[in-house]
């Protein structure tokens, strides 16, 4: 069965603009490097100029993101692709430092700045369909 798939990012709208920009860049790069077809096919305008398809960035807050991440660990969402960016990652200067630091922190003590999810349109909409775009 070939279900239509969808990709969105949910970012804490209360973060400073620089952290929001950094979070979305990291999430997009992470998702794109592992799943280059996650966004969908490029589109062409009437003049035959190609346009890359953007990923919607939705607004959330700290509580919503932490709950969303917990939900995404459940068995029913195991087939979804999830990338997250947190306070732990933001505080590290090297990848090795991040690996070490995250291994010592319980999941409920991580504060997520943003989460990118890719899965069936039905699942993604179930999780994020009621939240608005980050503006």
Res 78: pLDDT: 93
Residues 6+ apart with CB under 8 A from 117: 7, 8, 9, 10, 72, 80, 81, 82, 124, 127, 128
Residue 76 within a domain? yes
- CATH of residue 81: 3.40.1490.10
pLDDT mean values, one per 10 residues, the chain (135 residues)? 80 97 93 76 88 88 96 94 95 95 94 95 94 93
How many separate domains does the chain show? 1
For 81, the token pair is 């692709």
For 55, the token pair is 């990923």
105 lies in which domain range?
Answer: 5-42+49-117
State the pTM of this model.
0.87
Residue 26 within a domain? yes
| β strands within the chain, DSSP E | 5-12, 43-44, 50-51, 57-60, 81-86, 112-120
Res 120: pLDDT: 92
């Amino acid at each position: 069965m070939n279900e239509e798939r969808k990709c969105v990012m949910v970012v804490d709208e209360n973060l400073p603009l620089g952290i929001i920009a950094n979070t979305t860049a990291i999430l997009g790069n992470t998702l794109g490097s592992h799943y280059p077809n996650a966004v969908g096919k490029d589109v062409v305008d009437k003049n035959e100029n190609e346009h890359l398809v953007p990923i919607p960035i939705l607004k959330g807050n700290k509580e919503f993101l932490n709950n969303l991440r917990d939900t995404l660990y459940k068995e029913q969402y195991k087939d979804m692709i999830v990338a997250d960016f947190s306070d732990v990652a933001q505080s590290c200067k090297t990848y090795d430092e991040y690996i070490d630091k995250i291994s010592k922190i319980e999941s409920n003590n991580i504060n997520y700045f943003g989460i990118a999810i890719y899965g069936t349109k039905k699942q993604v909409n179930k999780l994020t369909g009621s939240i608005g775009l980050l503006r």
